[in-house]
Structure 1
Amino acid sequence: MIKFENYIIRPLENNDLAPYFDLVERNRKRLEDFFTGTTSMTNSKEDTEVFLAEMIKRREAKTYFPFVLVDSETQNFIGFFDLKNVDWSIPKAEMGCYTDKDFAGKGITSKAMGYFVTYCFKEFGFKKIFLRTHESNKAMQIIAEKCGFEKEGVLRMDYKTTSGELIDLIYYGKLK
């Protein structure tokens, strides 16, 4: 668990169904193009329960690590971080994240990401953490650079959006 200011970053658990579903539901429109799996598998609380169980199973297999950003005063979920595409032979992982629309643009994501990346290097022993973002996501580009990630390049036609469009993604990496 990571604590800073009035926030906590902690692993997502099975009993987080209601607050996790609410976070996704409040932000569904913002997430649908770039968090395709999340939005397609959380259309109801029942779907979300299955999705949560699958995420926890993947964490136990050490192939995926989901975390939530929680306001410690209200206990509301205000963000989500995950490590995916884990390659233990390097070792490296891709980081994903999103912040609740009501908390975006307040500097919380930058601080949380900084703490989270430090935690991941120390806790998991990764040598590299990378992230991918679309050119339209200027906020993530700024956050990534603020947190010490370096732009490594653009991979063309690297992601299929919910609508089926193939798009380019900017890759950022940070070494331990």
Structure 2
Amino acid sequence: MIGTVSKTKDLAATEQFLKDIDEKRIKREYFTYLVIDNSTNEFIAFFYLKNADWSIPEIEIGCYTDENFAGKGVTTKAMNLFVDYCFETFDFKKIRLRMHHSNTAAQIVAERCGFELEGTIRMDYMTTAGEIVDLTYYGRLK
């Protein structure tokens, strides 16, 4: 989420960020979804699809949940619905999740949603601070 925040510091930057996202959507490279409480219109979570390999086809899901909804099972329920949507709508054969090994909340959601631990890739991601970190991978087949 730090990368998103850094790209939306002011209105002009936010407009450009949204334009870039829309261009990526048209190219089928990046898709964004919001989870909103229907009764209050309150933001709950942000899901996105990226790093598609349409030849398999497989994709990676990313998710951020508002801290007011964390730990209440909302993310798990939304993730299960979203994964089903992705399999049905895009006909993916595999969906990936990857996370820092210290993100135990994400690991719990992954396991509760039927994802299986596939392993850790060393030095797999550079953070916005420039640190290269290992990531833990989970996968779920259709």
Task: Give TM-score, length-normalised by structure 2.
Answer: 0.96
Instruction: Confirm or deny that 1:107 pairs with 2:66.
Output: no
- Give 1:28-47 correspondences, 5 Å limit: 31-32=1-2, 36=3, 38-47=4-13
Mind listing any 5+ residue stretches in structure 2 that lack a counterpart?
A: none
SS in 2 for 1:136: coil
Q: Which of the residues 128, 151, 166 maps onto 2:94?
A: 128
Aligned to 2:127: 161
Aligned equivalents of 2:15 and 2:100: distance in 1?
29
Measured against aligned partners, the alpha-carbon deviations of 1:83-114 in whole angstroms (never above 9, x if no partner) come to: 10011101000100000111111110000000
Q: What's the offset of the Cα at 1:73?
A: 1.1
Identity among equivalent positions (%) equals: 56
Aligned equivalents of 1:75 and 1:49: distance in 2?
22
Q: How many residues align?
A: 142
Aligned equivalents of 1:174 and 1:151: distance in 2?
9
Measured against aligned partners, the alpha-carbon deviations of 1:59-91 in whole angstroms (never above 9, x if no partner) come to: 122111110111111212221001100111010
Task: Give TM-score, length-normalised by structure 1.
Answer: 0.78
What amino acid sits opposite 2:29 in the alignment? T
Q: What's the offset of the Cα at 1:39?
A: 2.2
Instruction: Confirm or deny that 1:68 pairs with 2:28.
Output: no
Structure 1 runs of 4+ aligned residues shifted over 6 Å read none
What amino acid sits opposite 2:131 in the alignment? E
Q: Which of the residues 139, 142, 145 maps onto 2:105?
A: 139
Aligned to 1:54: 20
Aligned to 2:53: 87
CA 1:81–1:149 in 2, change beyond 3 Å: closer, same or farther?
same
Aligned equivalents of 2:87 and 2:115: distance in 1?
13
Task: Please give the root-mean-square deviation of Cα atoms over the aligned residues, in Å.
Answer: 1.0
